Amino acid sequence: MVMDSVGIGGAPDAGSYFNDGAPDTGANTVLHIAEACARGEAEQGRSGPLRLPVLDQLGLGRAVELASGAVPPGLGAVPDGRWGAATEVSRGKDTPSGHWELAGLPVPWDWHYFPDTQPAFPEALMAEVREIAGTEGTLANCHGSGTVMLERFGAEHMCTGWPICYTSADSVFQIAAHEERYGLDRLLDLCERIAPVLHEMKVGRVIARPFVGAEGDFRRTGNRHDYAIRPPEPILTNWAQDAGRTVHAVGKIGDIFSMEGIDHLHKGDDATLMGHLNRLVDEAEDGSLTFANFVEFDSLYGHRRDVSGYARALEWFDTEIGRLLPRLRDDDLLLITADHGNDPSWRGTDHTRERVPVLIAGKGAGPVGQVAFADVAASVAAHLGVPASGVGRSFL
């Protein structure tokens, strides 16, 4: 289970990554949320200290201390699970980099990032977008957050029908369009057809960002679709599938890995995904792999720098894990981790370069220490008894 963006600070190279022109040194998603809660500064929709008894019992507080040297307020339990902190080597603090490496494959190239200028994109690329879209122009052509793009360009999009093209600090090309004015199928076709051009540039993802509503009330829908570069080498999902195991992808895992090694896809918002996961605890085939991503920590709260919302999401997740753990079978392993940080107390709106927690139920208690992202894949493969071809080493 990947808690998207739930970092724990301490990345040794954080000074080489930036938000709003300042380095990520000192960013710590879990620590700073816990400190804000303890100070009474995260009171919207919740109140008081951060309450994560289940994750803390698995070792979250100790993992934060191991990663960064700091103990989060209220997270001081003696763990009854296995726990550690993982460090990324890929040169990126984005979703594909983190997930590929967690699946055993550090990114073997440098991603292409678009400059924070206006225009952000080369004219040759935009000419291809216009040709595929069948429009005389495009909108935005800049860096920005999705909600801001809708506020700035949504009304003009409704008048012109021109797609809204934007990017972020990640290696990504995003296209927003109204599901009725432009058409959902037309948007998906545009993204699918332009994706190979972006992938050739080593841009990690093309993302379709459909929305609905009218001016002043534009809302993104759940029909987002990511067109990601296909991993160039086998990853954990391939290892399991090639060994005859069934692989379930919960959330955007299928998009991130371009469906490599995946048999069944289960999608929805985070509450729906948790329902899928609970069902799979009972129904998934013996020896199968379930790989889940819970994205709303990142998409709804991290980028929007919403400390209260992030705290609420963590407490909801903790409660749900508490309900799931007693239902695991004797030979089940549950491993909870993250792909990068997104400290909601930090400057800017981008991800933060951090270590991530590794919390394990089903393999006794005790520390696994400082590990690599790729060690997660090796350890899951070892538990499943399938051959691993990645660079990681099992810590189980």
- pTM of this prediction? 0.92
Is residue 340 a known part of a binding site? Answer: yes
The pLDDT assigned to 145 comes to: 87
Using CA atoms, how far apart are residues 231 and 97, in angstroms rounded to an integer?
10
Length of the chain: 396
308 and 43 Cβ atoms separated by less than 8 Å:
yes
Q: What is the mean pLDDT of each run of 10 residues along the chain (396 residues)?
A: 98 96 97 98 98 98 98 97 97 93 96 95 98 98 93 97 94 97 98 98 96 96 92 97 98 94 96 97 97 96 97 98 96 98 96 98 97 98 96 96
Q: What is the CATH number of domain 2-108+232-384?
A: 3.40.720.10
Query: In one letter, which amino acid is 207?
Result: I
User: What confidence score (pLDDT) does residue 379 get?
Assistant: 98
Amino acid symbol at 218 = F
Whole-angstrom distance, CA of residue 140 vs CA of residue 124? 16
Q: Is 339 annotated as a binding residue?
A: yes
* 298 is known to lie in a ligand binding site: yes
Residue 263 annotated as lining a ligand binding site: no
Please tell me whether 112 is known to bind a ligand.
no
| CATH code for the structural domain at 123-228 | 3.30.70.1250
Orientation of helix 60-68 relative to helix 29-38, angle to 10°: 110
